[in-house]
Homo-oligomer: A and B are copies of this chain.
Amino acid sequence: MKFIDGGICAAEGFKASGIHCGIRKNRDKNDLSLIYSEVPCNAAAVYTLNLVKGAPLTVTKKHLSNGIAQAVICNSGNANTCNADGIEIAETMSTLCAEELGISADDMVVASTGVIGQPLDITPIKNGIPKLVNSLSHDGCDSAAEGIMTTDTVKKEIAVEFTVDGKICHIGGIAKGSGMIHPNMATMLVFITSDVNINSEMLSSALSGDIQNTFNMISVDGDTSTNDMVTVLANGKAGNKEITADGENFKTFMKALNTVTVALCRKIAGDGEGATKLLECRVNGAKDLKTAKTVAKSVICSSLLKAAMFGADANWGRVLCAIGYSGADVDVGRIDVSFKSKAGEIPVCKNGSGIAFSEEKAKEILTEEEIEILVSLNSGEYSSVAWGCDLTYDYVKINGDYRT
């Protein structure tokens, strides 16, 4: 497997585009994106568990009930959530785009991201759709990735090439993250495309399995968004024999999918609102998987630890504190903790108690942009990884006045 360029257009038969249609005031930023497959795709999606759900999710869920989709439209700048006319607006968005593309409205995935509870005016979207469709190209991934960004500071795209059944296959993805990131069974907006030939049942199984160890293991601020969604579209253009059951080909697909999703997770966490550092908590030696995941997620979610990492302060007591209140049943007296980055690794806690370490070396390690927090529970064979970011002045600044 190798990483390649092209993002969501890396797979055969996919085009994308992104334009500024006028939802956002900033004319330099795209606010409307489109992903299109030349042929209908098998499709799967997972959605937020938040009881308050964005109207586009309801519409997409209905459209995907037959496991088929051919295009994705997504706007940024407004979440179209908690609006009395939300469903109607999302349906209209789908229908207008489908008409312009000459496909069925039922084959549209529709998504929105931005502020909650403000009416979404359909006018700029309606006026923008002809241009959006005309702009579709095999080089359109960048424009589309930009069109779904909110407070993201960098575009998030990735693609891999691999072989199934002797055929060259691709999976690519784009994501938007930044704030309100604490997915639960589903996640922020992620659109994945593939040319692998796989039926929608296996595609759904692959996605549902993968997110348990990827998008459900990242947190920026503990807030689970109302509009989280991950979708994957596979159009079969790679020409491999259709994957219809578990087996070697499915495992190869799963591995490629996981490579894409882990890369997107790291990008989302590292570009969390205001973040200056990517935090990766690696837990091993847990007595079961649930314990490993609970501990990793609790450490990554601690506001106190996140602020300490911002300050490059090796305050490992906050790691132990977060493990202690995680709800996981752990033997505190067996816990070891180290901090690691490309500047080196430093053990700071052994058997639940502090050990002497060089503050200078610790500071050097924690000043890097990617920090690993290594936790050994020394009670079993299970491990887990969670991703997060530091808590900074800019997180507060960005969220202190997001709407204006």
The residues of A with any CB-CB pair to B shorter than 8 Å are: 48-53, 79, 81-84, 115-119, 179-180, 182, 184, 221-226, 301-304, 307-308, 310-311, 313, 315-318, 320-325, 329-330, 332, 349, 352-354, 391-393, 395-404
Quick check: B354 and A317 within 8 Å, CB to CB? no
Count of this chain's copies in the oligomeric assembly: 2
**Chain B contacts for A322, CB-based, 8 A:** 223
Quick check: A223 and B302 within 8 Å, CB to CB? yes
**Chain B contacts for A226, CB-based, 8 A:** 317, 320-321, 324
Quick check: B320 and A116 within 8 Å, CB to CB? yes
In the complex the two chains form, what is the Cα distance from A7 to B248 in whole Å? Answer: 71
Quick check: B396 and A82 within 8 Å, CB to CB? no
Quick check: A399 and B304 within 8 Å, CB to CB? yes
**Chain B contacts for A52, CB-based, 8 A:** 320-321, 323-325, 332, 352
Q: Which of B51, B304, B321 contacts A332 (CB 8 A)?
A: B51
In the complex the two chains form, what is the Cα distance from A226 to B399 in whole Å? Answer: 29
Quick check: B117 and A320 within 8 Å, CB to CB? yes
Most buried by B among A118, A222, A396: A396
Quick check: B51 and A354 within 8 Å, CB to CB? no
In the complex the two chains form, what is the Cα distance from A224 to B184 in whole Å? Answer: 22
Quick check: A49 and B325 within 8 Å, CB to CB? yes
In the complex the two chains form, what is the Cα distance from A293 to B50 in whole Å? Answer: 18
In the complex the two chains form, what is the Cα distance from A221 to B119 in whole Å? Answer: 32
Quick check: B308 and A402 within 8 Å, CB to CB? yes
Least Cβ distance of A244 to chain B in Å? 36
**Chain B contacts for A399, CB-based, 8 A:** 303-304, 307-308, 311, 391
